[in-house]
A and B are shown apart, each in its own frame.
Chain A
Amino acid sequence: MPAPQCATCHKARAALRRPRSGRALCGACFCAAFEAEVLHTVVAGRLLPSGAVVAVGASGGKDSTVLAHVLQVLAPRLGISLRLVAVDEGIGGYRDAALAAVRRQAARWELPLTVVAYADLFGGWTMDAVARSTAGSGRSRACCTFCGVLRRRALEEGARLVGATHIVTGHNADDMAETVLMNFLRGDAARLARGGGLGSPGEGGALPRCRPLQLASQKEVVLYAHFRRLDYFSEECVYAPEAFRGHARHLLKLLEAARPSAVLDLVHSAERLALAPAARPPAPGACSRCGALASRALCQACALLDGLNRGRPRLAIGKGRRGLDEAGPPRDGEPERAPAPDAVPAF
């Protein structure tokens, strides 16, 4: 049976079928459609106004590579300028190779690249050091908890260094779906209440963040990278196998096999979750140490680092947060109690 013709241009031979709709398209038309959809997401959500300096969180992986490429293509139309910011978490054997890929990309696209390292920002704590510190207690190492919080802080710092007005990350629809599943399974009502939108508008001095690839499924991202012959780094993080997200990812793969639209359905559900006001996180204030956005007296990054420095890495993880300079565990819904004056070691 001869290959079908492209359904859009009717000239070239179809090279792929779009996972979502099953339409047969040639490579060029698919890439054009993908770019058009990203453009629509950005324009309809008013995510990146004209004149914005956009810091792209580049990890060397497929999502951030595709994001950077698409934004570069769309930059003239949107009137934005791009800067690449890469974060070096200090994971030996993994991050070095990824950073090499980022440097190659920056050279290829001629975009300015800034690398921020955990070791510089956070007083010598690399992820490997964190993993060593939290290991051996019989419980999981919770590396992703530390890495996620610290990376967002590092991205923010890097973005400020390059004078950016917006931060974009390459999260795709599969990531959003996994996040919703994970948050439900762990009972994280605060994150459920906060998430689901197209990013945060940047309250209290934090830079606005968004995820232009949010509605593109992972398969389409990979297809796009294939057709545009993009060079990216495709291994998974050394600490990934022990993460809880792995369960959510496994479940998502099963769901997708049973019903192809499961990813979109989950994103749709996530946007429409209605949580009780008591479950929502309290209005954000400023961290008492670093001044960043925080919903408690200490922002999560400072709290985590505090725990690490005191030799009790799990201090800020979970609902406890006892022992920090706060009076007792603050629970959602209860009024914030003023922190008791403790002798806090100078940081």
Chain B
Amino acid sequence: MVWQVLEGLSRESAKRLRFVPGIVCIDEGAACGLSPEARAKALAEMKLILQTVGFPWHVVALEEVFDLPPSVLRCFAQEPVGTEGAYKAAVDSFLQQQHVLGAEGAGDSPSLAQGEEQLSWPCTQDPQNPQSPDRPPTAAQTEALSRLFDSVKTLTAKEELLQALRTHLILHVARTHGYSKVMTGDSCTRLAIKLMTSLALGRGAFLAWDTGFSDERHGDVVVVRPMREHTLKEVAFYNHLFAVPSVFTPALDTKAPEKASIHRLMEAFMLRLQDQFPSTVSTVYRTSEKLVKAPRDGCAAGPPGPRCLLCMCALDIDTADSATAFGAQTPLHLSQTQPPTPPPTAPCCSAGMGRVQGCCGGARPCEREDPRARVIEQLCYGCRVNMKDLPSLDPLPPYILAEARLRSQRACIEQQIQEYLVEDSDDEAQTGES
């Protein structure tokens, strides 16, 4: 993708791309369990390649998630488009190079042209800075990160956590350096696999955001996927024919057995099915184009609901939903650290109430002392199921826990002053607690 952008920006191309790019790479060696020497080596190789590209680049280590502020998890309104003059000026000059290496290596495909290649479109003109100082992460941070990833029980949950942290980090880098868009190099094959994986993880409500062309969940920074029409094979051929250099770094699931995680399973299954039915990947891709970003029943007319803490999608747990009333119960009452609310389904059902454990607890948020339950309440269904594999929330980076605390406090306070607030709409009958 970087090469394509390079060509698109060059003076000879017929339709010149009009943005100022930077490259962001994330060094995930600590999460993957690489030794410091291996990481340094991979980093050096990446820097060599990226220097030849000529864009501003940043290398960020994943350990820096421990320094992120809680504001990363908030969704800001999109800033109005910058004035024309500043934009045109920015187009004519390249800003400082930002290399961030995403170590999403699939063994045989070049990591430059797919995976974590992030080009960004800045909307303000940064002064010509030398490269951001390359601070190697401290040993304490590295250790904290490996402790976090070791405490996760399944590979599936590890991968999801890694993805969430990576997204937050990239978001933060983009915001600090003034980029308004982030481009990722996901190809058609990868997106089809991602779609099926999200389906299996319970994220059916958010497929359009996860695999669509543009993803505006985060408000001011938009994630776009320009490579989504190209299959992996095409990318591989392109790289081979045009001698695009690439670096392979082991990822979290390299050399893992096929049944180790849902991502691996799905990838193996899709590629095998593709052999038998050659149109599988493109069929799934076409189906993904038909997905829209709206709640199913069209109840989007109301004010935007609360958002998930980790993935920032509108929460899809609906306590009035009869069909998965059981399903939503299961993740909640399986977490052993819950205060002993009676779990058996029989009394709950024969009472005919059909109340979900979560909604019984959610009615009195201020009384919930348990921090784990407080965090889980704020997650969407898919993230809740992932959290089941995390026995304790302590190793999580502090910004997540801080934001969770803040949100629950805010909800608590809102409930307390509910009866004094003047509501805009008449149909919200509030019976506030004091």
A76 → chain B closest CB, angstroms: 15
Task: Give the residues in chain A near B323, CB-CB below 8 Å.
Answer: 41, 45, 197-198, 214-215, 267, 271
- Set of chain B residues within 8 Å of A7, measured between Cβ atoms: 344
Partner of A184, one of B196, B205, B343: B196
* Most interface-central of B203, B208, B349, B382 (chain A CB within 10 A): B349
Chain B residue, CB-CB nearest to A250: B269
Interface size band for B: 35 or more
- B269 contacts A184, C-beta separation under 8 Å: no
Stretch at the interface among A146-154, A229-237, A272-280: A272-280
- Chain A residues near B327 (CB, 8 Å)? 215, 261, 264-265, 267-268
Which A residues are CB-close (under 8 A) to B38?
Answer: none
A-B CB pair tally, cutoff 8 Å: 166
Mask of A203-245 contacts with B, CB within 8 angstroms, 1/0: 0000000000011000000000000000000000000000000
Partner of B261, one of A43, A184, A258, A272: A258
Is A310 interfacial (CB 8 A cutoff)?
Answer: no
Q: Which residue in chain B gives the minimum CB-CB distance to A215?
A: B326
Cβ-defined contact, A270 with B204, below 8 A: yes
Partner of B326, one of A32, A37, A192, A270: A37
* Contact across chains for B201 and A265 when beta carbons are under 8 A apart: yes
Residues of B within 8 A of A321 (CB): none
Give the residue among B262, B290, B324, B382 with the most A Cβ atoms within 10 A: B290
B304-330 to A contact mask, C-beta < 8 Å, 1/0: 000000000000100001111111101
Interface string of B164-205 (1 = CB under 8 A from A): 000000000000000000000000000000011011111111
Contact B330 A20 (CB under 8 A): yes
Q: Is A187 a contact of B205 with CB atoms below 8 Å?
A: no
B221-264 interface code vs A (CB 8 A; 1 in, 0 out): 00000000000000000000000000000000000000111100
Separation of A92 and B316 alpha carbons in the complex (Å): 47
A215 to B200, CA, bound (A): 16
A344 partner residues in chain B, CB cutoff 8 A: none
Is B346 an interface residue when CB atoms closer than 8 A count as contact? yes
Tell me which of A39, A264, A275 contacts B350 (CB under 8 A): A39
Of listed A32, A181, A269, A279, residue having the most chain B CB within 10 A:
A269
- A197: B residues at CB distance < 8 A: 323
Set of chain A residues within 8 Å of B262, measured between Cβ atoms = 255, 258-259, 262
Bound-complex Cα distance A123 to B207 (A)? 45
A115: chain B residues at CB < 8 Å are none
Q: Kindly state whether residue B296 has any CB partner on chain A within 8 Å.
A: yes
- A41-B322, A269-B205, A270-B204 given as contacts; is B291 within 8 A of A184 (CB)? no
Q: Which chain A residues in 17-56 approach chain B with CB under 8 Å?
A: 20-23, 29, 32-33, 36-37, 39-41, 43-45
| Contact, CB under 8 Å: B156 / A258 | yes
Q: Is the CB of A265 within 8 A of B345?
A: no
- Residue of B at shortest CB range from A190? B290
User: In the complex the two chains form, is B265's CB within 8 Å of A258's CB?
Assistant: yes
Q: How far is the CB of B100 from chain A (nearest CB, A)?
A: 31
- Among the interface residues A189, A254, A258, which one has the most CB atoms of the partner chain B within 10 A? A258
Known: A184-B284, A267-B324, A279-B290. A39 touches B349 (CB 8 A): yes
Please tell me if A185 contacts chain B, counting CB pairs below 8 Å.
Answer: yes
Say yes or no for A266: interface residue by CB 8 A criterion. Answer: yes
Q: Would you call A309 an interface residue if the criterion is a C-beta within 8 Å of the partner chain's C-beta atoms?
A: no
A185 to B269, CA, bound (A): 11
Q: Once the chains are docked, how many angstroms separate the CA of A270 from the CA of B295?
A: 13
How far apart are B389's CB and chain A's nearest CB, in angstroms? 9
- Are A37's CB and B286's CB within 8 A? no
Contact A185 B283 (CB under 8 A): yes
Q: Across the two chains, which residue of chain B brings its CB closest to A275? A: B290
Complexed CA–CA distance, A247 and B276 (Å): 11
Contact B273 A274 (CB under 8 A): no
Q: Which residues of B contact A108 (CB under 8 A)?
A: none
A residues within 8 A CB of B330? 20-21, 261, 264
Q: Which of B360-382 contact A (CB under 8 A)?
A: 381-382
The answer to whether A273 touches B322 (Cβ under 8 A) is: no
B280 touching A185 by the CB < 8 A rule?
A: yes
For residue B293, CB closer than 8 A to chain A, the reply is yes
For B265, the chain A residues whose CB sits under 8 A away are: 251, 254-255, 258
Bound: A7/B327 CA distance, A: 20
Name the CB-closest residue of A to B322: A44
Whether A33 lies near B344 (C-beta < 8 A) is: yes
- B260 x A258 contact (CB < 8 A): yes
Residue of B nearest to A40 (CB): B349
Contact string against A for B residues 94-116, beta-carbon threshold 8 Å, 1 for contact and 0 otherwise: 00000000000000000000000
Q: Is the CB of B326 within 8 A of A276?
A: no
Also in contact, A274 and B291, with CB within 8 A (given A7-B344, A32-B346):
yes
- Contact with A278, one of B199, B259, B290 (Cβ below 8 angstroms): B290
Confirm or deny: B352 has a beta carbon within 8 angstroms of a beta carbon on chain A: yes
Interface residue B331 (Cβ < 8 Å from any Cβ of A) = yes
Q: Which of A257, A259, A272 contacts B205 (CB 8 A)?
A: A272
CA distance in complex: A45, B334 (Å): 25
- Which of the residues B283, B334, B352, B354 comes within 8 Å of A187, measured between beta carbons? B283
Q: Determine which of B200, B296, B324 lies in contact with A255 in the assembled complex, contact meaning CB atoms within 8 Å.
A: B200
CB-CB < 8 A to B344: which residues of A? 7-8, 23, 33
CB distance from B334 to the nearest CB of A (A): 7
A14 near B: Cβ within 8 Å? no
- Residue of chain A at shortest CB distance from B386: A259
B346 near A8 with CB under 8 A, answer yes
Chain B residues whose CB sits within 8 angstroms of the CB of A20 once the complex forms? 330
Q: Is the CB of A184 within 8 A of B346?
A: no
Tell which of A266, A274, A278 has the most Cβ of chain B within 10 Å.
A274
Which among B198, B201, B204, B296 has the highest number of chain A CB atoms within 10 Å? B204
Chain A CB within 8 A of B287 CB = yes
Q: Which residues of A contact B283 (CB under 8 A)?
A: 185-187
- Which residues from chain B contact A32 at a C-beta distance below 8 Å? 346
Q: Does B32 contact A (CB under 8 A)?
A: no
Residues of A within 8 A of B295 (CB): 272, 274
**CB-based contact B273/A247 at 8 Å:** yes
For A288-309 the 0/1 string (1 means CB < 8 A from B) is 0000000000000000000000
Residue of B nearest to A173 (CB): B327
A: which residues have CB within 8 A of B?
7-8, 20-23, 29, 32-33, 36-37, 39-41, 43-45, 180-181, 184-187, 189, 192, 197-198, 214-215, 247, 251, 254-255, 257-259, 261-262, 264-279
* A-B contact list, 19 entries, CB within 8 Å: A33-B346, A40-B349, A40-B352, A185-B196, A261-B385, A262-B200, A262-B262, A265-B201, A266-B200, A269-B200, A269-B205, A270-B204, A271-B296, A271-B324, A272-B205, A274-B291, A274-B296, A278-B290, A279-B290
Top 6 A-B residue pairs of the complex, sorted by shortest distance between their CB atoms: A269-B204, A265-B202, A272-B205, A187-B283, A44-B322, A40-B349
